[in-house]
Structure 1
Amino acid sequence: MGETWLTSNSWIFLLFSSVVLMVVFFLVYFFEVVRRMGSDHCFDVSAAYFEDPNSLRKVAFPSVFDPAEKYISLIIPAFNEEHRLPLALDETMSYLQQRAAADKSFTYEVVIVDDGSTDKTSKVAFDWARKYTIDNVRVILLGKNHGKGAAISQGMLHSRGELLLMLDADGATKVTDLEKLELEIRSSYEKELHSRAARPSDSNPKFSDVAIATFGSRAHLEQQALATRKWYRNILMKGFHIVVLLTAGPGIRDTQCGFKMFTRAAAQKLFTNIRLRRWCFDVELVYLCKYLNIPMIEISVNWSEIPGSKVRMTSILHMLFELLLIRTGYGLGIWKIRA
């Protein structure tokens, strides 16, 4: 009887010790990740090159801190998108060309960021660069997969537009909806000018020099999504939204829509501070906008489900981990924000 009791207690002790060691190991790993991301997060905006698909020579990319050369830049992150990218690019380029033909002041560029694809995504992208010239379509090759957030950050930091729009390679959001975001930025800019009128000493800046962010949103489609998704996915998504609310606070209902527009000034501030490279960089953008007092406007956009989504159930766990990183990194002051 005594031996049985000792054996039972030994197993309990071993189990408890194992759990404690696992928790300690996780905390050590977690804080090392936070520390590393706090000390080494900035992208080098001066050493990026894109390849001219005709001459194959490397051309230095401009920096987002250079004067704007285009009215708008569209940044498309792409990872293994050889099948979905052509349709999205066809629709995008058709719209941009039509608008440019109707308005000579509307100049544009499309920056495709190949995030280490293992299929023919880069070939598809270079084919479009040849067709429309590198003045209108440019390709950044990251070499290996870094994550959607990293791909978008690279595109933003090397764009030439007064306005910078990020959009997904699957074409889930209609590119024409950029006009909604553009209109809201213009409206917010006019309000800023009106407020400055009371301060005669202030000079009126260009709209691209005023930091403003607009977020495309699918929140108006939430009830429809709840009716079509499986019950456990709804529970997970509701839980995720609650954690997002606790992390970044209220203000934006749909943080994860891949259709966001920024003025050049906003992009300079946000994408030199962004640390997360994968799923939850969108939430970090909301956090940074609040910290830097950048106005955020959420706008409903047309959105449709496109087959081939890369979001898996395991992605939710990764997202939760990244949300914890945000809360810890900024909350403890380990991650510094440049104003």
Structure 2
Amino acid sequence: MELPWQIFEYIGVIGLIFTLGLGILIVIEAFCRRSNNCHLEAHPIFEDPNSLKQVPCPSIFDPAEKYLSLVIPAFNEEHRLPSALEEMMIYLQKRTAKDQSFSYEVVIVDDGSRDETKRVSFEFVRKYKVDNVRVILLGKNCGKGEAIRKGMLHSRGELLLMLDADGATKLTDLEKLENQIHAVAKKELGEDSSVRISDVPIVAFGSRAHLEEKALASRKWYRNILMKGFHMVVLLAAGPGIRDTQCGFKMFTRAAARKLFINIRLKRWCFDVELVYLCKWFGIPMLEISVNWTEIPGSKVNLLSIPNMLWEIVLMSVGYRTGMWKISS
């Protein structure tokens, strides 16, 4: 009769050891990420593939030189990236032709791809010139959040748009985000015409929340479970405010990007949640705007993403709530 109780005791001891070990591991990892010294990081080198000359690398702390920066994280995207980039360039060039004051840059961040993403990206640099299209090579896979952070920190735009390499959201939808940011900035600034929009911190979140019912019917079952569970965890970690934190289509004014991306610590899927948390901490207005979205085959999200997402959410909660992660203003 004692044997079953002994088994339960062993299981209990093992569970306690595992829980304590996991807790210690979380605290250690959060402690290791306490310092976000992005201002001390070496700037990437932009190389002009036509002249083979190095191009000075900008910083988010420099004054804006372009109106719009598009930041595209790319990991093994040699097949999906070209068509998405062609569509972007057609839109950007048409808009430039209509409005001579409109200027842009596309910043592709190759997140340690093992395919021909680098070659494909530099083909667009050659075609459209290094002033309009630039490539940052991370050398190793760091994660989507880190790739976007690097791109944002070295962009030149008054407005900075992050978007995925698959072209799931039509680029024309950026005008919805742009117009709403301008409307809010106009209210904030009033009659003060000396302040530029880049100096007013505002973030516009592209959202697929209006497509949720249709998505539940068409999306794979494990992605629906992931979505519902993730929404609950996000609500607990960052609080209410944004229904769809994970849409990869977000626009930042330069002032907002500066505040947010010098503080971001999560490197992979959940950096979006950290953005919401930081926006609330800084009091940055958050706009959630519906965008058109099409699911493109080749998504990097799968069942193995779930443990990583939970890990990052727990890290964020421990890091900020214990005060280990200091926020720089």
TM-score scaled by structure 1?
0.93
Paired residue type of 1:258: G
Partners of 1:218 and 1:254 within 8 A in 2: yes
Is residue 220 of structure 1 aligned with residue 213 of structure 2? no
Q: CA deviation at 1:49?
A: 1.2
CA RMSD in angstroms, aligned pairs only: 1.6
Q: CA deviation at 1:317?
A: 2.0
User: Which position in structure 1 is the counterpart of 2:147?
Assistant: 151
Tell me how far apart the structure 2 counterparts of residues 146 and 269 of structure 1 sit (CA, whole Å). 21
User: Which position in structure 1 is the counterpart of 2:184?
Assistant: 188
Tell me how far apart the structure 2 counterparts of residues 203 and 228 of structure 1 sit (CA, whole Å). 48
SS at match of 1:262: strand
Tell me how far apart the structure 1 counterparts of residues 39 and 80 of structure 2 sit (CA, whole Å). 28
Q: Determine which of 60, 73, 77 is the counterpart of 1:77.
A: 73
Q: Determine which of 63, 66, 70 is the counterpart of 2:62.
A: 66
Tell me how far apart the structure 2 counterparts of residues 128 and 213 of structure 1 sit (CA, whole Å). 29
Paired residue type of 2:65: E
Tell me how far apart the structure 1 counterparts of residues 287 and 214 of structure 2 sit (CA, whole Å). 23
Partners of 1:48 and 1:60 within 8 A in 2: no
SS at match of 1:73: strand
Query: Which runs of 5 or more residues in structure 2 are unaligned?
Result: none
SS at match of 1:39: coil
SS at match of 2:304: helix
1:222-257: CA deviations, max 9, x gaps?
010112235554333212101101111111110000
User: Which position in structure 1 is the counterpart of 2:265?
Assistant: 275
Query: Which range moves more in the overlay, 29-38 or 113-122?
Result: 29-38
Tell me how far apart the structure 1 counterparts of residues 193 and 218 of structure 2 sit (CA, whole Å). 52
Query: Which runs of 5 or more residues in structure 1 are unaligned?
Result: none
Q: CA deviation at 1:10?
A: 4.3
Tell me how far apart the structure 2 counterparts of residues 208 and 223 of structure 1 sit (CA, whole Å). 36
Q: Determine which of 118, 123, 141 is the counterpart of 1:122.
A: 118
User: Which position in structure 1 is the counterpart of 2:241?
Assistant: 251
Paired residue type of 2:305: S
Partners of 1:47 and 1:60 within 8 A in 2: no
User: Which position in structure 1 is the counterpart of 2:284?
Assistant: 294
Q: CA deviation at 1:21?
A: 1.6
Query: Which range moves more in the overlay, 318-327 or 47-56?
Result: 47-56
Paired residue type of 1:327: S
Is residue 174 of structure 1 aligned with residue 170 of structure 2? yes
Q: Determine which of 35, 38, 47 is the counterpart of 1:42.
A: 38
Q: CA deviation at 1:18?
A: 1.9
Partners of 2:36 and 2:263 within 8 A in 1: no
Tell me how far apart the structure 2 counterparts of residues 88 and 232 of structure 1 sit (CA, whole Å). 27
SS at match of 1:155: helix
Is residue 236 of structure 1 aligned with residue 226 of structure 2? yes
Identity %: 64
Partners of 2:223 and 2:302 within 8 A in 1: no
Count of residues in Structure 1 that have an aligned counterpart in Structure 2: 329
Partners of 1:45 and 1:157 within 8 A in 2: no
Paired residue type of 1:80: N
User: Which position in structure 2 is the counterpart of 1:56?
Assistant: 52
1:155-174: CA deviations, max 9, x gaps?
00000111100000000000
SS at match of 1:62: coil
SS at match of 1:261: strand
Q: Determine which of 152, 155, 160 is the counterpart of 1:164.
A: 160
Q: CA deviation at 1:41?
A: 5.4
Which of the two has higher C-alpha Rg?
1
